[in-house]
Amino acid sequence: MMDSHWSDYWNQGHLTSFGDSFQGNYEGVLKDCWQETFTELPEQFKVLDVATGNGALALLVRECCEGKVGTVIGVDFAKVHQPEPIAHTTIKVDLVSNKNCEALVDYESQSFDAVISQFGIEYSDFNLSLPEASRVLKPKGVLTIVSHHFQSLVIRRNERILSLIRSKETKQLLETMARLVKAMGEVREPEDIARVKANETCETIRKELNSTINQLVKNDEDALKDSELMSYVATIFQKGMLWPLAEKLRYLDFVKQQILALELRLKELTDASIDENQLGELISKLNKFGLTLVAVKVLKTAEKQIVSWFIQAEKL
């Protein structure tokens, strides 16, 4: 289940769980499939978005249903941000932090026209979250899930990042950065920079650092860019060159924590992906908890790359 590494992630302002993989809100085939779903919402609708993150899907409801009157409540186990208010909207969006979709005790039975989730509910225990989703749905209410597909472009991309940050080269990079910072000592003036450049020990470590970076580029340049490792290197040896030594060391500790948090998030993300066997188990659980399957399909980009599963069920 989600932990502080997700709260910290959402606190950075991301709308989606993919960081820079998507700019702004979800786009393309994802947006198209949700637009079709949201057109079926009645007037005076009430929607529950489970595992909402910073409300990407809840905000998409507001965008797609302009002209209707309704309420969207987004819940997430992590701490999330309320969206920026907009004027003259007839759709209220409320995001609730620290709310587990496996225990929706604050919401009455048969109170929502739709329960939706995008890349979220699959992190939960379906034996707990699905009966809760069914309970809060009105009769004929619809549960719609867009979930991680085990062969999707997002999963493949994040598996590569995960492999890279777990590599011995990444460990070497962090260790070598620390060695170089300590060897440089206090650097406060241009004269100190000249001293560092003339120091044989510093020069040897700098070459080791460059060699490690070159190997990371050779291993997977795209994953290296996605990991943001190089931005950390640039920060400490460019922007932070004249920082006091103690501040540089604190920053390196921060970098280690960021990489650890990234590893935890990506492991949870990849572990949450669903293969065909798990999909079959999920469909069986839908029936068990009073939900009839309406649709299941694989969403793909225009280039035929897999994006996600699309699963829809109606309450009996």
Which is higher by pLDDT, 57 or 83? Answer: 57
Q: Which of these, 300, 291, 293, 297, lies nearest to 310 by C-alpha position?
A: 297
Whether 26 contacts 118, CB under 8 Å: yes
As a whole number of angstroms, the distance between CA 238 and CA 18 comes to 28
Q: If you average pLDDT over residues 52-77, what whole number do you get? A: 94
pLDDT at 17 over 50: no
pLDDT at 27 over 80: no
- pLDDT digits over 264-290, tens only? 999 999 999 999 999 999 999 999 999
- Residue in this structure with the two tokens 């907009």, named with its chain if needed: 86
Q: If you average pLDDT over residues 53-75, what whole number do you get? A: 94
pLDDT at 85: 82
pLDDT at 15 over 70: no
In the chain, which residues fall in CATH 3.40.50.150?
Answer: 4-152+273-315
Q: If you average pLDDT over residues 114-139, what whole number do you get? A: 97
pLDDT band of 3, cuts 50, 70, 90: low
Q: Which two tokens stand for residue 120?
A: 């979220």
Q: Which two tokens stand for residue 10?
A: 């959402």
- Residue in this structure with the two tokens 């289940």, named with its chain if needed: 1
Tell me 240's DSSP state.
T
pLDDT at 23: 44
pLDDT at 22 over 60: no
- pLDDT digits over 216-268, tens only? 999 999 999 999 999 999 999 999 999 999 999 999 999 999 999 999 999 99
Q: Which residues contact 280 (CB under 8 A, 6 or more apart)?
A: none
pLDDT at 26: 56
pTM for this prediction: 0.85
As a whole number of angstroms, the distance between CA 5 and CA 159 comes to 18
Residue 60: burial class (beta carbons within 10 Å; 0-12, 13-18, 19+): buried
pLDDT at 211: 99
Looking at domain 4-152+273-315, its CATH architecture is 3-Layer(aba) Sandwich (3.40)
pLDDT at 234: 96
Average pLDDT, the chain: 92
pLDDT at 11 over 80: no
pLDDT at 28: 86
pLDDT at 147: 97
pLDDT band of 82, cuts 50, 70, 90: confident
pLDDT at 88: 86
pLDDT at 175 over 90: yes
Q: Which residues contact 57 (CB under 8 A, 6 or more apart)?
A: 26, 34, 49, 74, 116, 117, 118
As a whole number of angstroms, the distance between CA 238 and CA 124 comes to 42
Q: Which two tokens stand for residue 289?
A: 């908890």
pLDDT at 269: 94
pLDDT at 24: 41
Query: DSSP 3-state assignment of 313?
Result: strand
Sheet of 137-147, strands arranged across: 91-96, 70-75, 45-50, 112-118, 137-147, 306-315, 291-300
306-315/291-300 β-pairing = antiparallel
Whether 72 contacts 47, CB under 8 Å: yes
Which is higher by pLDDT, 87 or 10? Answer: 87
Which is higher by pLDDT, 15 or 292? Answer: 292
pLDDT at 16: 46
pLDDT at 83: 85
Q: How many helices (H) and strands (E) does the chain have?
A: 11, 7
Element (H, E) at 281: helix 276-288
